[in-house]
Amino acid sequence: MRLYLSAIGRLKAGPERDICARYLERAQAASRGVGLTGVEMREADESRARRPEDRKAEEAGALIQTIPAGARLVVLDERGKAMGSEAFAADVGAARDGGAAGYALLIGGPDGVDPALRARASLVLAFGAMTWPHQLVRIMAAEQIYRAITILSGHPYHRV
């Protein structure tokens, strides 16, 4: 199973992009040791539609196109469920063990996530009740992917 971090918008060159890439590279390097085929970041362009509802719908379609059919969809949304790192790692492991085609963390655009995409997701997660900038959400998601892989491998990176 391959892990995907798919987001609307493109990270510009700079420290946020570097940090995100560093965590994804670490995750990629450790992924084979836990039965994963890799980790990758995919980006889709922001919609230029005038109405927020139309933008969200277009962006939802663009996000879905970045991942394979049959992937477990996990949407990051401020109205989602708070989950600890161990539980997140267990969810990744269960998808892997259940034969999922992939595991995709989806980050919507500035207007949020389309309700239809949220309803289609297997899991809707929140990084707390606060609203976070998209650049930081990507970094936090990349770090949690790496942390999940280390938890699944028994590596001491994750200490309780």
Residue 53 lies in a domain: yes
* Six-digit token string for 10: 């493109």
| Interacting residues of 131 by C-beta distance below 8 A, sequence separation 6+ | 78
Strands 2-8 and 72-81: unpaired
Number of compact structural domains in the chain: 1
CA distance 118 to 110: 15
Residue 90 has pLDDT above 80, yes or no: yes
Domain assignment of residue 20, given as a range: 2-153
* Six-digit token string for 42: 């995919």
- Report the range of poorest mean pLDDT among 10-19, 25-34, 67-76, 151-160: 151-160
CB–CB of 88/103 below 8 Å? Answer: no
Residue 126 lies in a domain: yes
Residue 160 lies in a domain: no
pTM to 2 decimals? 0.94
CATH number at residue 23: 3.40.1280.10
Neighbouring C-alpha atoms within 13 Å toward the C-beta of 120: 18
pLDDT tens, residue by residue, 45-65 = 999 999 999 999 999 999 999
Residue 66 has pLDDT above 70, yes or no: yes
Q: Alpha helices of 32-133 — where are they, by DSSP H?
A: 52-64, 85-97, 115-120
**Average pLDDT, whole number, for the chain?**
95
Residue 146 lies in a domain: yes
Residue 158 lies in a domain: no
Residue 65 lies in a domain: yes
Residue 68 lies in a domain: yes
Residue 159 lies in a domain: no
| Interacting residues of 51 by C-beta distance below 8 A, sequence separation 6+ | none
